[in-house]
A and B are shown apart, each in its own frame.
Chain A
Amino acid sequence: MSHMQHSVEFDHVCIEYESWRYERMRRVTQRIRALDDITLSINPGEIVGVKGPNGSGKSSLLRAVCGVHTPVSGAVLVFGKPPNLFDPEFKRRITYSSSRRTSLLPDLPLIDSFILRRELFAMPRAHWEGRMHSLVDRLSLGALMNRPPREFSQGQRARAELAIALLHGPSLILLDETTEALDSEYMPRFLALLDELSADGATVCMISHRPDDLECAHRIVTIDGGRVVGDERVRGEATGT
């Protein structure tokens, strides 16, 4: 397997969770296989849509790319390296956004979430300002910057989450159902933005249950029972390779 040509490589990857409970003072452990022998590669600049039923392993796939889950067998490589080592430089190259886990500070004005992100990713101020203004403009967040996210609608919150996720200019964008709250006005604008990022070389991996959200994808990967049951090219090769 060549390690440098792909952004993401899964080589016969199995991921298991350990679930346990106490029964009569005894610990009862159960192992749940979330990903089962996944082999998959994603090229730089490619937009890959991931779909599948609930509990099929889609989110586990993305979290394995982040390095949160470590395979019990097989290997995951991201930019040619195992993602499960603590490496700040690697972490600056990826982003993960989820509909269930927020990166926003719910009670502070939205601008503070952008400031926190700047500090976490050690962004130079000028670069941060440029990126923030561009994303705020593209995702129409200007009127929300001085309001706390707890007052946002679901769609507004999703736009804010996406802006925060893209703020540091990641090369690998992992979106776990974050786009599902976007309406018909904002979704095409966001897909156009993803297309631009892809053309600039960013790799995108997005999970969604809505077929329209995956319109910009070059490939659609279908996961079921922790296995890849479909991998279909739906658009031409990524131009950002």
Chain B
Amino acid sequence: MNGFGARPQGLDKATGIRLLHIAAILAKERTTPVWDFVMRTLGSTVLLIAQFAFLRGLDPSGDALRYLALARTAFACSGGQLLERFLIDGYMNGSLMMDVITPIYPLAFIMARSFAGMLASAAATLPGVLVAALLFGGMPRVSLQGAALYAASLIFVWLASTGIALISSAIGAALKQGEAAVQLRVFVTQLASGALIPVYLYPDWVQRVIRVLPFVHLADTSVAIALGASVSSMYPQIIWSAALLGIGIALWRRRLARLDVYGG
């Protein structure tokens, strides 16, 4: 066992600023080359337009569209997806060792990577959400208080998605089934979060199941908060994000402490 899973002794202000700067550099990398990023954003916009058009047909009142605009925005703030692939690939091919031999606590560095992923994901998705919402009349009407609480809940979306990514990547790396873990996570989070289909459109029994799962806090909970749900509806989101992040960090502390790198 090495000591790379060590618990940070507490981050001082200077380290916090350094981590933010590191995240900004990594986010810049995620949005480069510029034309790759532009085409990715365009691809995402086309899919969002199709999704909005489909829901427009299903629910002409526009409620589903307003829900979807908020849900996709929340889901775009889940930076875990990019982190997940980085961790699985880095663990499998050994490149993760280049991160753990730097003087930054590895788990703090991982959080900076997740934050960078969130910034890049939001930058790639939000223009598409805006275009699709404007095209189909899905701009949400949100009170000032709702908007403020929604913005706060996005922080917990990011933390929860980082926790989920840490858990799924740790399982993928442990079973040497990285792609399977990624695809399973994508499938479950898209369906059970409300980012693909509003949760309230599912049959009642499906809704009952989905609402006890943590994935609902990646989008649906934030939508409810934006649309006027009480502050207390954010509590399960906060508790789940802390629990998922705690489990994910514990799993990766174990993984990093047993990091085996094969080959020259």
Set of chain B residues within 8 Å of A200, measured between Cβ atoms: none
Chain B's closest residue to A87 (CB) is: B3
| Residue in contact with A67 in the complex, picked from B3, B21, B260, CB distance below 8 Å | B3
Main secondary structure of the interface of B (DSSP, over half): loop
Question: Chain A CB within 10 Å — which of B94, B95, B97, B101 has the most?
Answer: B101
- Per the bound structure, the CA–CA distance linking A25 and B45 in Å amounts to 43
Confirm or deny: A5 has a beta carbon within 8 angstroms of a beta carbon on chain B: no
Q: How far is the CB of A238 from chain B (nearest CB, A)?
A: 24
Q: How far is the CB of B119 from chain A (nearest CB, A)?
A: 15
- Per the bound structure, the CA–CA distance linking A154 and B2 in Å amounts to 32
**CB–CB B103/A121 < 8 A:** yes
How many A residues face the partner with a CB closer than 8 A?
Answer: 43
**CB–CB B25/A112 < 8 A:** yes
Known: A116-B22, A119-B21. A17 touches B262 (CB 8 A): yes
Question: Size band of the B side of the interface?
Answer: 35 or more
Q: Per-position contact with A for B96-114: 1 when CB-CB < 8 Å, else 0?
A: 0110111111100000000
Set of chain B residues within 8 Å of A21, measured between Cβ atoms: 176
Q: How far is the CB of B226 from chain A (nearest CB, A)?
A: 35
**CB–CB A102/B95 < 8 A:** yes
Confirm or deny: B4 has a beta carbon within 8 angstroms of a beta carbon on chain A: yes
Confirm or deny: A26 has a beta carbon within 8 angstroms of a beta carbon on chain B: no
Q: Per-position contact with B for A93-107: 1 when CB-CB < 8 Å, else 0?
A: 010101111110101
Confirm or deny: B28 has a beta carbon within 8 angstroms of a beta carbon on chain A: yes
Confirm or deny: A122 has a beta carbon within 8 angstroms of a beta carbon on chain B: yes
Q: Per-position contact with A for B168-211: 1 when CB-CB < 8 Å, else 0?
A: 00000001100000000000000000000000000000000000
Chain A stretch 147-181: residues in CB contact (< 8 A) with chain B: 148, 176-177
| Residue in contact with A121 in the complex, picked from B25, B32, B102, B262, CB distance below 8 Å | B102
Known: A69-B260, A101-B97, A101-B98. A91 touches B103 (CB 8 A): yes
Chain B's closest residue to A120 (CB) is: B102
Confirm or deny: A84 has a beta carbon within 8 angstroms of a beta carbon on chain B: yes
| Residue in contact with B102 in the complex, picked from A18, A91, A108, A115, CB distance below 8 Å | A91
**CB–CB B105/A86 < 8 A:** yes
9-residue interface stretch from A58-66, A135-143, A224-232: A58-66
- Per the bound structure, the CA–CA distance linking A100 and B261 in Å amounts to 12
Q: Per-position contact with B for A51-79: 1 when CB-CB < 8 Å, else 0?
A: 00010001100010011111000000000
Confirm or deny: A131 has a beta carbon within 8 angstroms of a beta carbon on chain B: no
**CB–CB A66/B260 < 8 A:** no
Set of chain B residues within 8 Å of A116, measured between Cβ atoms: 22, 25-26
**CB–CB A85/B98 < 8 A:** no
**CB–CB B101/A88 < 8 A:** no
Chain A's closest residue to B90 (CB) is: A101
- Per the bound structure, the CA–CA distance linking A17 and B259 in Å amounts to 10
Question: Chain A CB within 10 Å — which of B26, B105, B262, B264 has the most?
Answer: B264
Q: How far is the CB of B34 from chain A (nearest CB, A)?
A: 10
- Per the bound structure, the CA–CA distance linking A96 and B261 in Å amounts to 14
Known: A68-B2, A69-B260. A108 touches B103 (CB 8 A): no
Confirm or deny: A12 has a beta carbon within 8 angstroms of a beta carbon on chain B: no
Confirm or deny: B40 has a beta carbon within 8 angstroms of a beta carbon on chain A: no
Set of chain A residues within 8 Å of B94, measured between Cβ atoms: 100-101
**CB–CB B25/A68 < 8 A:** no
- Per the bound structure, the CA–CA distance linking A101 and B97 in Å amounts to 9
| Residue in contact with A105 in the complex, picked from B3, B4, B25, CB distance below 8 Å | B25
**CB–CB A17/B101 < 8 A:** no
Set of chain A residues within 8 Å of B262, measured between Cβ atoms: 17
Question: Chain B CB within 10 Å — which of A70, A100, A120 has the most?
Answer: A120
Q: How far is the CB of B83 from chain A (nearest CB, A)?
A: 16
**CB–CB A59/B263 < 8 A:** yes
Known: A102-B95, A120-B103. A108 touches B28 (CB 8 A): yes
Confirm or deny: A218 has a beta carbon within 8 angstroms of a beta carbon on chain B: no
**CB–CB B28/A86 < 8 A:** no
Known: A102-B95, A116-B22. A84 touches B3 (CB 8 A): yes
> What 20 additional pairs, Cβ within 8 angstroms, besides A17-B260, A91-B102?
A22-B175, A54-B264, A67-B2, A68-B2, A68-B101, A69-B2, A70-B2, A86-B3, A86-B6, A87-B3, A94-B101, A100-B94, A102-B98, A105-B25, A107-B33, A108-B29, A108-B32, A116-B22, A122-B103, A177-B264
Q: Footprint of B on A, CB under 8 Å? A: 17-18, 21-22, 54, 58-59, 63, 66-70, 84-89, 91-92, 94, 96, 98-103, 105, 107-108, 112, 115-116, 119-122, 148, 176-177, 207
Q: Can you identify 6 A-B contacts, CB atoms within 8 angstroms? A: A22-B175, A70-B1, A86-B6, A89-B103, A102-B95, A121-B102
